[in-house]
Amino acid sequence: MYGRSSYSGKSSSVITALLLLGFIVSPCRLAGQNYYFEQYGSKEGLSASKVYTIIQDANDFIWLGTGSGVTRFDGLRFENFSTSDSLSPGGVKSICEDSRGRLWLGHIGGGMSVIENNIIRRITFSPSIFIGVDSARIDDPFRPVTSLTGDITGIVEYEASIWISTSLGGALRLDMPDPGISLMTGQQYVGRQGLSNDAFGFYTDRRGNLYCITDVGIKKYDHASDRFTPYNPEGLTRYFQTTTIFEDSRGNMWFGTFNGGLYRQDAETGDMGFYDTRNGLWGNFVTYILEDYRGHIWVATMEDWESRGGITVFSPDGTIVFNGSNGLKAKHILCMIEDRERNILVADRDAGLFIYKGDHFTSFMVPQFLPSNDVFTLAQDRTGRYWFGTGKGLALYNPVLKEEDRIKLSGFPPTLEGAQINIIRPDDNGNVWVATAGDEVYRYDLSDRNFRYDLDLNASLRSLRIAAMTTDHRGNLWIGTDRALIMWNMRLKESTTFTQINGLTGNNITSLFCDSRGCLWIGTEERNGLTRHIPGSSTFTAVEFRSDVQPTVITETPDGVVWVGTIDGLYALKNDAVIRRLTEADGLLMNSINQLQPDRSGNLFIGTNLGLNRYDSNTGRVSSFTEKNGFTGIETRPNATFADDMGDLWFGTSNGAMRLTPSKLPPVVTEPATHIWRTLVNYEVFPMHDGIRLMHTQNRIIFDFLSICLVDPGAVRYQFMLEGADEEWITTDQNRAAYSSLSPGKYTFMVRAANSYGYWNEVPARLSFSIRGPIWATSWFIILCATLLVGGIYLFITLRERTLRKEKEHLEAKVEERTAEVVSKSLELEEKNRDTTASIRYAERIQAAMLPPENFFNDTFVLFMPRDIVSGDFYWMHDSGFKQYIAAVVCTGHGVPGAFMSIIGHNSLNKIVRESGISRPSEILDHLNIEVVHALLQRSEKAVRDGMDISIISYDILEHTVEYAGAFQPLYHVRDGRITIYRADRFPIGMIDGQAKKSFSNNRVDVRPGDMLYIFTDGFADQFGGEHEKKFKTVKIRALLSEIYALPVDEQKRRLQDAIREWMGEIPQIDDILFIGTRVP
């Protein structure tokens, strides 16, 4: 048995006196109350419900020695280890963690194991440890043994050695081994060394003494003689076997016995006190003693041989007994510890593990206290009595009566017996108002202690469903129903009905509350259903705070803030303005709020269907209480909460009445401890220490971390970050972080946790490491490669330069030879180019001589801009004496090919009109088509497919008429700024015979003197230019002609020429341009 102690600076005598008083005077407790002990057994994952011992290691893991091995518990999961994991055979009866973090396990049957760096090894004992056999007497306590066959009953680290106590083998002092050593050396202690063969456990006090409990009494180790000597403090019984020893923080020594009760030796006087079942102890068979952080002494006992275990807690306030009647279903308690969070963990030989998380919550249930566990309402009246309304009637508790008379479950009016009680509200006169599920209201009259049923009041409630009820300080009872708000004047016995007509936001009332100023707050089911009524007035004021929520409960904290619970979170109002909102994102268990109850410190408790939250007014933190940390009621009921005159808070739930004593809430004195307890590299367990350097192939790393919070394990949240890979903290409720394909570099993994109270540890757990780059990424390798590369390049360049010099000399000779040839050819080409250019210039003069002068007709302009020296566009004019002809023609190609085509076209037109006498424009084009086809021999598929587009107009001087025909080129007719377009036929001049026979259309143009006629080729419209280098297009041509048609023809030509040149800018001309305009005489 291993005991831990800590020293307290309090006065030993004062506290001892208070404890003694507590042993004798038990505090007044409500009968039927239950304490919450969370129980774990085989069903919850334990390998066996037989738990012998329990410890918490340096990483906060809980280790349990069980009948089938050892189990590690992290608050959520049990991990069981047995012989298949290399444990020695037999259950584990004792566990000790040494100063190096190793766990030593003592087994039933004498085996021993050690867990070091998460590796389990079996321990063997060197034969040199054991004393040789020199006696044959089996019952001789001085009989030496040569091996361990009995159980290892206790393990303790003492003065750099591991000490183990055994049954049948005495005690062994084992030399502290180096890491990885499994063969143990040391010394054995049996009867010859003042001990016994049957040792039941060790204890060390704060003065450094080592005690061993044996079958022949308590033995104390003497360093000088290396022996054990009897320890018999005065007043301690020798008749009953001592079972356990404990030293409290005040230096008092406690001794538990087998059926002999409990003894306590005062540290200052040395006096021995005695306690048994007659003065508060649950049983006289004491199995374990523990002191909690408040200095309370916990004594585990057995009542009798029927395995009914219990715990008696002694404190300055009195004694509390935990047993099967109030929540602890223990049978045979063997060990207790207080964990880091100050929970009490209880190991039971038959019932598994129990965890006690404090007495701040107590529950009251059937059959001792309530007629039904479904508590819809509760209250305390002016005399201090507690009222409970349940689904099956009333319960009344009067603490001033004798214990057997305190609880009243019957004797109420017949209409209330077994009825569902929905609301209980005391008034200022000491009366208590009770509303039932049948929507009837009763008044308990304090003066004669009878219930009254007021006919007028209930008549006003007929056919209405009661949902809320409260009283104000002006003698009024307010009742909220599904269709109206009813005010009952208690003095005048008159009722008044209020609805939306009076200013309420709705008629379906959900909640009522009277604040510290006497204002009545009314919540309705309608959206934004919050109304305030000022006392003494007849008006109601709607409070605008949210348009899409409905209030469910309203209260006020001591600072004057009004809190409104809704189905969509909790709102805090100050001067009718929302100053804070709390939702699930802030830690609420649910957004739908059932209850609100402030305590005396201004903290607000929030009831939901999933449990209870606490909003800390000082820190703003939201903590939660569920079944895991004692709030076993879980689902809270609306209208079912109040604070009693002692400051305790009461909550009605679907599973009994819950009482919370805020002063007993466990203080959070330290932040949650977070540990990186295991690392895996490339998916295999790989212990990492701070500053470790890994290979570049070891870049897949998993970190296992934990922060054990037994108060509410499911509420633990983590944040982790890997500096060098992550840019911000990652929040999760998982306790593993995995990284793959990490690049070479330096990293620091950090993790922190928040417990169920919302506290984060400020300094995260850290693990720094680095990943080395591959050899080809190291500096020396890069420098070597760079040197070799530079040398290779230099050598290559040197050899290359030598080769290039030789090639250069050879090429220079070749160049001189070729240069002479090129110069000769260049001179020859230059000569031919001059001849060709001269020929083209001559062709230009021929083409210019062929074209008529631009002023051939009066009031006519010709804008002719060839792209090259010669042009593929040409114009043709002819005056027959009574008819005038003008044609604008574009031939296939431009330059020299186009010029040849223009000669063919020009000659053909002269032949058709002058020689053949054909005057109709369409017929002219038909004959021109034939002439071109014949001229180009376009009669087969191999013929040249060339041709021309043309627009031709004829003006009859006598009749003053104009006719037009065209091949792909239109005629623009402008009169008074309006343009009429005469479309050309959509086939060219030069159709071959195999094509369908088509004739050109003849168009008669209605003209008046002064009208302008324009014909042009496609070069003007297709020219690129402008800001975005697009085509000029016919749209811009029409706009330009509408501006200039009335100008003299020479001015029109200039404007057109300026426009196209400005449009082109620096862009070269892409085609020949021809534009002709003539004014009708």
User: For the segment 525-581, what is each residue's pLDDT rounded down to a tens digit?
Assistant: 876 789 999 988 878 998 887 767 789 999 999 999 999 999 999 999 999 899 999
Nearest Cα neighbor of 668 from 373, 377, 340, 423 is 340
Tell me the C-alpha distance between 709 and 733, whole Å: 13
Fold classification of 856-1079 (topology level):
Phosphatase 2c; domain 1 (3.60.40)
SS3 518: coil
Kindly state the DSSP code that residue 912 receives in the 8-state scheme: I
Q: What is the mean pLDDT of residues 640-669?
A: 90
**Between these two residues, 607 and 894, which has the higher pLDDT value?**
607
Tokens representing 819 are 């240069």
- Cis amide leading into 414 (omega within 30): no
pLDDT digits (tens, 9 = 90+) for 305-352: 556 789 999 999 889 999 988 889 998 999 999 998 899 999 999 999
Q: Are 750 and 766 in contact (CB under 8 A)?
A: yes
Tokens representing 75 are 């608050």
Name the percent of the chain in helix, strand, coil, to the closest 5.
20, 40, 45
Nearest Cα neighbor of 946 from 986, 890, 1000 is 890
**Whole-prediction pTM value?**
0.67
pLDDT band at 31 (very low <50, low <70, confident <90, very high): low
CB atoms within 10 A of CB 734: 10
Beta-bridge partners for 656: 653
Q: If one looks up domain 675-776 in CATH, what number appears?
A: 2.60.40.10
Beta-bridge partners for 961: 956
Per-residue HEC secondary structure of 75-93 comes to CCCEEEECHHHCCCCCCEE
Angle between helix 895-910 and helix 921-936 axes, rounded to 10 deg: 130
Q: What is the mean pLDDT of residues 354-360?
A: 91
Is 2.130.10.10 the CATH classification of the domain at 545-665?
yes
Nearest Cα neighbor of 947 from 891, 896, 909 is 891
Whole-number percent of the chain with pLDDT over 70: 92
Largest CA distance in the chain: 165
Provide DSSP, 453-494.
--HHHHHHTTT--EEEEEE-TTSEEEEEESS-EEEEETTTTE
Kindly state the DSSP code that residue 682 receives in the 8-state scheme: T
CB atoms within 10 A of CB 515: 15
pLDDT at 805: 87
pLDDT band at 3 (very low <50, low <70, confident <90, very high): very low
Type of residue numbered 509: I
Tell me the C-alpha distance between 283 and 302, whole Å: 5
Kindly state the DSSP code that residue 42 receives in the 8-state scheme: G
pLDDT at 494: 94
Q: Are 80 and 69 in contact (CB under 8 A)?
A: yes
Q: Are 492 and 499 in contact (CB under 8 A)?
A: no
- Is the alpha carbon torsion for 583, 585, 586, 587 positive or negative? positive
Q: Are 362 and 33 in contact (CB under 8 A)?
A: yes
**Between these two residues, 304 and 610, which has the higher pLDDT value?**
610
**Between these two residues, 782 and 570, which has the higher pLDDT value?**
570
Whole-number percent of the chain with pLDDT over 90: 65
SS3 146: coil
pLDDT band at 20 (very low <50, low <70, confident <90, very high): very low
Tell me the C-alpha distance between 440 and 422, whole Å: 10
Tell me the C-alpha distance between 660 and 923, whole Å: 116
- Does residue 16 register a pLDDT over 60? no
The mean predicted confidence, pLDDT, of the chain is 88
Q: Which residues contact 805 (CB under 8 A, 6 or more apart)?
A: none
pLDDT at 807: 85
Provide DSSP, 201-256.
EEEE-TTS-EEEEETTEEEEEETTTTEEEE---TT--SSSPEEEEEE-TTS-EEEE
**Between these two residues, 964 and 25, which has the higher pLDDT value?**
964
- Does residue 458 register a pLDDT over 90? yes
Nearest Cα neighbor of 82 from 39, 48, 116 is 48
Kindly state the DSSP code that residue 985 receives in the 8-state scheme: B
- Does residue 848 register a pLDDT over 80? no
pLDDT digits (tens, 9 = 90+) for 363-384: 998 888 899 999 999 999 999 9
Fold classification of 82-231 (topology level):
Methylamine Dehydrogenase; Chain H (2.130.10)
